[in-house]
Structure 1
Amino acid sequence: MPEPDPNVRLSNAEREALIARLQTATEEGRLDLHEFAERSREVYEARTYADVERLLTDLPAEDRALAVPRAPAASGDMVLEPSYTHLKRQGAWIVPGLIRVNPKYSRVTLDFRTAEFTTREVEIAVNLEYAGLKVILPKGAHAIDDGVILEGGQVINRAFTPGGGQRIRLTGRVLYSRLKVRYERRFLWWRW
């Protein structure tokens, strides 16, 4: 695949592909968590390929994000398996039809407010062990949590009223963990 022009601006999908490559390098032990956080921040601040090229020069050629296809496959499953950390997906990210969340002693936040949905219904299959999952839904969406098995855990669903928007179906197991689904909170100009 030819190298992209360094003066071409990055798209949101390409930024997400770069972050995925950095995460893979972190999981392989090539980057520590501090380096991953710093490089991820720089990817989100970058405007062109030239701005991110230096972030990948010390990684093997197969891990370089500049060689990935321009549009990531939206139909593939997403698997999130953090350990002893806080993982947050927010902004304009592409939501597949199935998201598997398997944290261990971690917190995960899935913010769907400005995400791009690929299907009308999204399944979030959870296996929470001593962990927390917070799901923030956009206006009009709703969540169904009748497929969750509680084993000393807690499910708080404040987004259960069906609307005309997306449907989030929660399935899986919650072991001494907390799963919370809510809408965006607002006060004056603040949003969280």
Structure 2
Amino acid sequence: MTQYDLDILASDRERSEAEERLRAAVENGRLPLTDLSARLDEVHASRTRGELEEACRGLPRPGPRDALVVDRPATSRGFVAGVFGGFERKGLWIVPPRMTVWSMWGGGKLDLSEARFSSQDTEIRAVALWGGTKIVVPEDIEVEVRGFGLFGVFGKRAARRIGKPGAPRVVIKGLALFGAVVTRSAVVTRGKG
């Protein structure tokens, strides 16, 4: 930011963004909880963008994947089906805590690579009957795959445990009968901050 940008009066939206930045820093272990109250007081007292930046000193700007678990309702229903057709969920969306996806004589794709989660733990029940479902998961979450393939395939390629504290956990379970449920990892591009 230039000096001119720092001297501009801060808006309410910019104060809210600074509050979220501080809360995310506490959640990610970058800022001790004991420092949060004083920093929030600085944000509320800030008149300019420069003062807001000072309140957030030492913290990176949030990237596109910094807050994976959000305190907002899901933007997709808990049941999605591709019967003699297909379905696709991708882009920025909020995953419900429990979701069931059916592929019956059809197919579908569930892409979680840009998604946010409404719960720390998410369960996806995938059923493929003479159909197929592809589930794409980002690399920065914990994934457990417990599905079963009977004359079909229930792929476990994306299953992994990671030690990062606070990472969302997704459990994918279900059945592939004369069909396939495949999982794969997507490389996540992080924003620069």
Where on the TM-score scale, by shorter chain, does this alignment land: which range?
Answer: 0.5 to 0.7
Instruction: Write the distance in 2 (CA, Å) between the matches of 1:121 and 1:159.
Output: 17
Aligned to 1:90: 90
User: What are the ranges of 5 or more consecutive residues in structure 2 without an aligned counterpart?
Assistant: 1-71, 189-193
Report the CA distance between 1:172 and its aligned residue. Answer: 2.2
Please report how far the alpha carbon of residue 79 of structure 1 lies from its aligned counterpart in structure 2 after TM superposition: 0.3
Structure 1 match to 2:158: 159
Identity %, equivalent residues: 21
TM-score with structure 2 length normalisation? Answer: 0.53
Detail structure 1 runs of 4+ shifted over 3 Å in the superposition: none
**8 Å contact 1:88–1:109 — kept in the other structure?**
yes
Count of residues paired in the alignment: 114
Q: CA deviation at 1:114?
A: 0.9
Amino acid at match of 1:167: R
Larger relative CO (CA 8 A, sep 6+): 1 or 2? 2
Secondary structure, aligned partner of 2:83: coil
C-alpha distance after superposition, 1:106-154 (max 9, x if no partner): 11111111111111121111221011111111122232122x2322111
- The residue type paired with residue 159 of structure 2 is F
- Residue number in structure 2 paired with 1:124: 124
Matched residue type, 1:82: G
Corresponding position: 1:141 with 2:141:
yes
Indicate if the aligned counterparts of 2:124 and 2:173 stay in contact, CA closer than 8 A. Answer: yes
In the superposition, the TM-score normalised over structure 1's length comes to: 0.53
Question: Which amino acid in structure 1 is aligned with residue 184 of structure 2?
Answer: R
Q: Which runs of 5+ in 1 are unaligned?
A: 1-71, 187-192
Q: How big is the alpha-carbon RMSD for the aligned residues of Structure 1 and Structure 2?
A: 2.3
Offset at residue 77 of structure 1 (A) = 5.5
Q: Distance in 2 between matches of 1:184 and 1:76?
A: 21
